[in-house]
Structure 1
């Protein structure tokens, strides 16, 4: 049986200014806002650590999501691929991270995107063949153009996950309250 290729690196994007959260009434940066008694970022990091995958956190200020992704890819240039995970997704499950990584490692596609109840989420996985394009990103759009190009080329795989954490980002106080309800339901086994 051939050996599985090396695992991709999780890129935790924590460079944003969190302006929508503050505009919604948040008193601190959204990544420092408390969710179940812990900062949002701590929950995200806990999930990434529990996944067992290598990771890199990009915290330096950047003008846009594309710039942040590019900097993180350049910092991990020798990686076998990347899972792009915005830091404001505190409920993503470790097994979801592993499932995206495994689908990417299987090599039939260049991009893997999780889907929960017909909603596309994160982390989006990118193979090493996307490295040059990712490293050249600029602006606010992130990697949407790369995903679209791989989709047109038949190199995008969507995997259905049973993890609302892939679509539960924290942009407002309302989002934080909704995440708290989901977190409590998860703890109570619902």
Structure 2
């Protein structure tokens, strides 16, 4: 059971997945099968296993980009003490990684997970970033917010031993990363 006041995981699932389709995909990448279930379902299973509250951003017709999706998800959860921004195309993410980011967020305004020096997701933001996150639009994500937090030394660079924080599905061949899948 998760204690009250935990950050909400915002699952971003509103993109068009154009690179996946251009690479030979016959369905949206989030609906593509990996080990017999949809990529997005793997993400949802990990999120549910973490026990953290969550909100799925997948409106009919999509959005104009990641920034708009983030703003939508944060606006839909205005009472949250913070948010973990998780793209829906990370089927290898482990529940323990979500919990580590959430725990670190209690002491740091921004938490950026890394795997072997590569920046990953979910990026965590404390409540103080509500206005900045809800002001995002179009396809511009939260990179500028993270950059500003780094400049103010408000961002924790969190090293995790989970390839799932960086191993996403962008093209059909990414579904062949089965040897990395450890659930």
Q: Which residue of 2 aligns with 1:163?
A: 162
Q: Which residue of 2 aligns with 1:124?
A: 123
Q: Distance in 2 between matches of 1:31 and 1:17?
A: 10
Q: Which residue of 2 aligns with 1:92?
A: 93
Deviations 1:142-184 (A, max 9, x none): 1000000100011000111000000011000111112x2212x
Q: Which residue of 1 aligns with 2:69?
A: 68
Q: Which residue of 2 aligns with 1:182?
A: 180
Q: Distance in 1 between matches of 2:101 and 2:137?
A: 25
SS of the equivalent of 2:174 reads helix
SS of the equivalent of 2:158 reads strand
Q: 1:152 to 1:5 in 2, by over 3 A?
A: farther
Count of equivalent residues? 179
CA offset at residue 5 of structure 1?
A: 7.6
Q: 1:176 to 1:55 in 2, by over 3 A?
A: same
SS of the equivalent of 1:100 reads helix
Consecutive unaligned residues of structure 2, counting only runs of 5 or more, are none
Q: Give 4+ residue runs of structure 1 displaced > 2 Å after superposition.
A: none
Deviations 1:117-154 (A, max 9, x none): 01000000000001110001012121000000100011
Q: Distance in 2 between matches of 1:75 and 1:5?
A: 18
Q: 1:177 to 1:75 in 2, by over 3 A?
A: same
SS of the equivalent of 2:55 reads strand
Q: Which residue of 1 aligns with 2:109?
A: 110
Q: Which residue of 1 aligns with 2:148?
A: 149
TM-score scaled by length of structure 1: 0.92
Deviations 1:36-65 (A, max 9, x none): 111101100000000000000000111010
Q: Which residue of 2 aligns with 1:52?
A: 51
CA contact (8 A) 1:69 1:134 kept: yes
Consecutive unaligned residues of structure 1, counting only runs of 5 or more, are none
Structure 2 counterparts to residues 32-47 of structure 1, below 5 A: 32-47=31-46
Structure 2 counterparts to residues 3-14 of structure 1, below 5 A: 6-14=5-13
